[in-house]
């Protein structure tokens, strides 16, 4: 498999779950991958063929500037950004604290914006690039609670469309990826009743696997999707079709 041969990619939230799978599948497809996370949970990715690890708090502009400068210094280009890092809470509006609101917005929304802003100058200079912003089915539909998560993932959806039309003439494609319920450490830590409900509402009757999302990310990163920008790639077992 070599759909990403020669491409340089940055993947955020790569310590576990969907982000880790995206990083690993990108590398298998031939990309040089900089796998990032806020903590040290992805450092074991370093040393594998095509994979290296860097610490990155997506909510900090200084971290983005450091990582992007380093990648450009060593690789000379950035072809793909997979903005995957995210967190979720399930507080309804009247129970959501300012602190929790700001934390979710900082990581899910501001982090996505900072990532795009950091890599776009390089992509503009080379006249090409693919940005994949991971939203969610909850960027288009609702579940009880989850107010801040809905707000940020809906924002990611529309931020992606704006960037897509802004940079379409510059050879830069921007698409959003919308997973349904995926079995990851993030969802494993949720209330089992919430998980059972969402899986029960999924027409295919099961949770998705991280690699099923990663394969969609490969498509968006590759030249196979060369006429695709501003789109929403939904991988959700049929949930949003209802």
Tell me whether residue 172 is in a domain.
yes
Task: Please report the pLDDT score of residue 42 as a whole number.
Answer: 55
Quick one: CA dihedral 111, 116, 117, 122, positive or negative? positive
| Model pLDDT for residues 47-99, shown as the tens digit of each residue | 678 999 999 999 999 999 999 999 999 999 999 999 999 999 889 999 999 99
Average pLDDT, the chain: 94
Tell me whether residue 85 is in a domain.
yes
Q: How many domains does the chain have?
A: 1
| Model pLDDT for residues 103-135, shown as the tens digit of each residue | 999 999 999 999 999 999 999 999 999 999 999
What CATH number does residue 161 fall under? Answer: 3.40.50.720
Spatial separation of the C-alpha atoms in residues 108 and 29, rounded to whole Å: 27
* Residue 46 pLDDT grade (very low, low, confident, very high; cuts 50, 70, 90): low
Q: Which residue has the tokens 């690789």?
A: 75
3-state secondary structure the chain: CCCCCCCEEEECCCCCHHHHHHHHHHHHCCCEEEEEECCCCCHHHCCCCCEEEEECCCCCHHHHHHHHHHHHHHHCCCCEEEECCCCCCCCCHHHCCHHHHHHHHHHHHHHHHHHHHHHHHHHHHHCCEEEEEECCHHHCCCCCCCHHHHHHHHHHHHHHHHHHHHHHHHCEEEEEEEECCECCHHHHCCCHHHHHHHHHCCCCCCCECHHHHHHHHHHHHCHHHCCCCCCEEEECCCHHHC
Spatial separation of the C-alpha atoms in residues 103 and 89, rounded to whole Å: 10
Spatial separation of the C-alpha atoms in residues 229 and 70, rounded to whole Å: 28
Tell me whether residue 2 is in a domain.
no
Tell me whether residue 227 is in a domain.
yes
Cβ-based burial of 97 (10 A; exposed 0-12, middle 13-18, buried ≥19): exposed
Tokens for 25? 């599948």
Task: Please report the pLDDT score of residue 193 as a whole number.
Answer: 84
Task: Please report the pLDDT score of residue 186 as a whole number.
Answer: 74
Tell me whether residue 242 is in a domain.
no
Spatial separation of the C-alpha atoms in residues 37 and 85, rounded to whole Å: 8
Tell me whether residue 229 is in a domain.
yes
Q: What is the mean pLDDT of residues 2-16?
A: 96
User: Is residue 134 within 8 Å of 179, Cβ to Cβ?
Assistant: yes
Tell me whether residue 1 is in a domain.
no
Range of the domain at 122: 8-237
Q: Which listed residue (53, 149, 167, 239) is catalytic?
A: 149
Spatial separation of the C-alpha atoms in residues 87 and 13, rounded to whole Å: 10
| Model pLDDT for residues 162-216, shown as the tens digit of each residue | 999 999 999 999 999 999 999 987 777 777 888 898 999 999 999 999 999 999 9
User: Is residue 122 within 8 Å of 68, Cβ to Cβ?
Assistant: yes
Tell me whether residue 221 is in a domain.
yes
167 is an active site residue: no
* DSSP strand pairing (172-179 vs 232-235): parallel
Q: Which residue has the tokens 């994949």?
A: 132
């Amino acid at each position: 498999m070599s759909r990403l041969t020669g491409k340089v990619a940055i993947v955020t939230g790569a310590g576990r779950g969907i982000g880790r799978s995206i990083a690993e599948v990108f590398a298998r497809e031939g990309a040089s991958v900089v796998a990032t996370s806020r903590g040290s949970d992805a450092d074991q990715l370093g040393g594998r063929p095509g994979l290296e690890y860097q610490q990155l708090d997506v909510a900090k502009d200084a971290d983005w500037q450091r990582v992007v400068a380093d990648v450009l210094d060593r690789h000379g280009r950035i072809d793909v950004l997979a903005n995957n890092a995210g967190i979720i809470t399930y507080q309804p509006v009247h129970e959501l604290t300012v602190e929790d609101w700001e934390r979710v917005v900082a990581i899910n929304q501001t982090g996505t914006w900072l990532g795009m802003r950091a890599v776009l100058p390089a992509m503009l200079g080379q006249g090409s690039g693919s940005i994949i912003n991971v939203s969610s089915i909850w960027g288009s539909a609702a579940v009880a609670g989850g107010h801040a998560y809905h707000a940020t993932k809906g924002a990611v959806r529309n931020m992606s469309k704006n960037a897509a039309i802004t940079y379409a003439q510059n050879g830069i494609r921007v698409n959003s990826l919308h997973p349904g319920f995926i079995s990851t450490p993030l969802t494993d830590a949720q209330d089992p009743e919430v998980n059972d409900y969402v899986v029960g509402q999924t027409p295919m009757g099961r949770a998705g696997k991280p690699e099923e999302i990663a394969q969609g990310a490969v498509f968006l990163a590759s030249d196979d999707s060369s006429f695709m920008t501003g789109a929403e790639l939904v991988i959700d077992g049929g949930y949003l079709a209802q």
